[in-house]
Chain A
Amino acid sequence: MQASASIHSNDTLQIDGVQLHSRFLLGTAGYPSPQVLAQAIDAAGTQIVTVGLKRTLAAQGDNGFITMLQDKLRDGRARLLPNTAGCRSAREAVQLAHMARELYATHWVKLEVVGDEHTLQPDPFELVQAADQLVRAGFTVFPYCTDDLVTCRRLLDVGCPLLMPWGAPIGSGKGLLNPYALRTLRARLPDTVLIIDAGIGAPSHAAQAMEMGFDAVLLNSAVAHAKDPVVMAGAFASAIAAGRHAYHAGVIPVQDFAVASTPVGGAPLLL
């Protein structure tokens, strides 16, 4: 069977009325060339790729990356999810989201409002405020948030259809730093689409998230900065598929002591 992030045809992810077969969302920054990014998107089988916006005077030429992505968009093979990276307040994020909607012609937005420069940790207060305004303005908000349960509930209360809690700080590659909090989120919000976003470094981290019952994974650096981004994109696709299969199959509970697997009875056989 070919490894793929799509599991089987009826195990789809529903977002904003859109049926997605892939549970792998991929960032587009930091690739060595548009061609490598295009191949990585194909290897990942992703159907949602994230993009950004930058002030024109500060932006260098994009060397064809955006043109390539827009071509893929026209093929219908990928949807663009613009982000509000770099925003430090609700006001900035709301303004940038409106500009993203104009520029990318989509009402989907990955809402990022950072509250700490060192960790790039989301600011929960500004995030909820921005999400509230954007939902009222007709956006479908994908909030990048921490694993704090109450903040997540507030984001759902204002109309976010899903949540994107961090695994670890952006670009850190540390994996799932707080599995307890993430398990709690999954348990307390069983019907919410939860996408682990940020901090994933290795395919095993993505598999772990999927085994825990998360609905999808969003990552960028782990693929873009790999020695071979295309092969790594395929590796993540396999891991996400494996983790999803394992979640459905049911991972056995952890035991403190050995549990014999060979049914030899209580005493060794001496012939």
Chain B
Amino acid sequence: MQHVQIELDGKPHAVPPGSTLAELIASLATPAESVATAVNGALVAGDQRALCLLKAHDAVLVFRAIVGG
């Protein structure tokens, strides 16, 4: 089955059809609680990621904590 093309942190990315945001985060090998996520500019809270189905052309942002000034 053809993958769904999305944009992840500004770069093209393919996910299996029917993927959720939670599954995408799990595929990144990053602890889910260590990132914040947004889809198409809107925050998706950690407890909502499993309910967030990814569609073609969705723009997903995944941010993690870093040091800063």
Contacts and interface: CB of A to CB of B under 8 A. Distances in A.
A265 to B, nearest CB: 56
B60 to A, nearest CB: 10
Contacts of B18: none
A83 B41 CA distance: 18
B55 interface: no
A82 B10 contact: no
A82 B36 CA distance: 13
A165 interface: no
B67 A53 contact: no
A95 B42 CA distance: 7
Contacts, number: 96
B67 A51 contact: yes
B63 to A, nearest CB: 4
Q: How large is the interface on B (under 10, 10 to 19, 20 to 34, 35 or more residues)?
A: 20 to 34
Given A55-B9, A56-B28, A57-B11, A95 B41 contact: yes
A100 interface: yes
B1 interface: no
A102 interface: yes
Contacts of A143: none
A55 B67 contact: no
Interface string A101-117: 01110000000000000
Nearest to A57: B9
Contacts of B36: 53, 99-100, 102-103
A28 B69 CA distance: 6
A53 B64 contact: yes
Contacts of B26: none
Given A51-B65, A53-B65, A95 B9 contact: no
Contact of B35 (A56, A85, A170): A56
Contacts of B69: 27-30, 50, 52, 83, 85, 170, 220-221
A63 to B, nearest CB: 10
A102 B43 CA distance: 9
B49 to A, nearest CB: 11
A177 interface: no
Interface string B40-53: 01010110000000
3 tightest A-B CB contacts, nearest first? A52-B68, A27-B69, A220-B69
12 contacts: A51-B67, A53-B63, A53-B68, A54-B63, A54-B64, A55-B61, A56-B62, A58-B9, A95-B43, A98-B38, A102-B43, A221-B69
Given A85-B69, A98-B43, A104-B65, 7 more contacts: A27-B68, A28-B68, A31-B67, A53-B66, A56-B9, A91-B41, A102-B45
